[in-house]
Amino acid sequence: MSELPAPLERALVDERRRHGRVRLPWVAFPGMHPFDLGWRMGAGETHLILLAHDAGDRSLEARRAEVIAAGPVPADWAFWVAERLELPGTADDPDLGPYALAFDEVRDALAALGIDVGGEPA
C-alpha cells in the first residue's frame, strides 16, 4: 500500500499507540450511522482511510477475527462488514456484492462466519 501523507501517518501512529490498531468504525464512532455524511468528510473519512491503510495487508481471516473480537456488530454495520469480508452477492447482480442481498441473508452469512449481528437495522 502507498505511503500516507505526513498528517495521516501521524494520525495512524497515534491511533495504533492509543488502541493497538485502527478501531472498527462503530467502535471508534459509536452511534454514527454508516450512511452519515461524517464518513465522507472530516474525522470519519480520515478514520476510514486509516482503517483501509492499516488493514491493507491483513488476510480476510485476520479481518474476520478482528470483527469477532469487537463483539456483536451493530445491525446497521452488517453490510459494511460483509463487504469488508468480501462476501458475495446474488447471481442476479454480483457487482453489488452483499448489497444485493436482503438483511437476513447478510446476517445469516455473517453468522456462518461466527459473527454475531445485534438487533435490526434502523
pTM of the model: 0.88
pLDDT tens by residue, 49-98: 999 998 877 899 999 999 999 999 999 999 999 999 988 887 777 788 88
Task: Report the candidate in 81, 97, 98 with the shortest Cα–Cα distance to residue 27.
Answer: 81
DSSP β-ladder status, 73-74 and 117-118? parallel
Q: What is the pLDDT of residue 2?
A: 64
